Amino acid sequence: MNILVINGPNLNLLGIREPDLYGKEDYAALVALVEDTCAQEGIGVEVFQSNHEGAIVDKIQQALGTFDGIVINPAAYTHTSVAILDALKAVQIPAVEVHISDVSKREDFRQVSYARLACLKTYMGLGLDGYRQGILYLKEYLSSHR
Ligand code: DQA
């Protein structure tokens, strides 16, 4: 089982960026948590981050035939990107949406998620642990849908 973890814009600045919202742990800590979780669960993983919408669309397209599942935090593109939604729909790879903060309790413009329309489940407000939970859910889902 191989999964792709995608992080959108500004998530590379974790630790520096609004720590009250996103925590004090940096991006390297997020990558380590994802890699450790996957190693423990016997899952192959690639972690990808980009600040560019088109690069994220390219990565989702390239996942076809290589990855069995996707965990995605599209960051700000969550609320704007029909292109990322369409890419997820196009490849039909089971996907889970993760947000570090609880977007449901934030500004009105964060209440829309395009990506969610192509995702099986959303984890939000759990900090970095949302990624771990998303990976475990995806493993369970993929194991029972083979
Ligand atoms: C975020 C929430 C988004 O609204 C925001 O634009 C982000 C991060 C989160 O992980 O909580 O960049 O996706």
* Closest C-alpha residue for ligand 1 atom 7: 75
Q: Which residues, listed in sequence order, are joined to residue 124 by a DSSP beta bridge?
A: 99
- Selected catalytic residue, list 77, 99, 123, 131: 99
- The helix/strand/coil state of 11 is helix
> Under a CB-based contact definition with an 8 Å cutoff, are residues 9 and 51 in contact?
yes
* Closest C-alpha residue for ligand 1 atom 6: 76
pLDDT of residue 146: 74
Domain that holds residue 132: 2-144
Tally Cβ neighbours within 10 Å of residue 33. Answer: 18
pTM of the model: 0.98
Question: What percentage of the chain has pLDDT greater than the value 90?
Answer: 99
Measured between alpha carbons, how far is 91 from 118 in angstroms, rounded to an integer? 10
* Rounded average pLDDT per 10-residue block, the chain, 146 residues: 98 97 97 98 98 98 98 98 98 98 98 98 98 98 93
State the amino acid at position 58 in one-letter form. Answer: D
- Kindly report, residue by residue over 99-116, the tens digit of the pLDDT: 999 999 999 999 999 999
Check residue 109 and report its DSSP letter.
G
> Under a CB-based contact definition with an 8 Å cutoff, are residues 100 and 127 in contact?
yes
State the amino acid at position 102 in one-letter form. Answer: D
pLDDT of residue 113: 98
27 is catalytic: no
pLDDT of residue 103: 98
How many domains does the structure of the chain reveal? Answer: 1
In this structure, what CATH number is given to the domain that contains residue 37?
Answer: 3.40.50.9100
Ligand 1 center to 144 CA (angstroms): 30
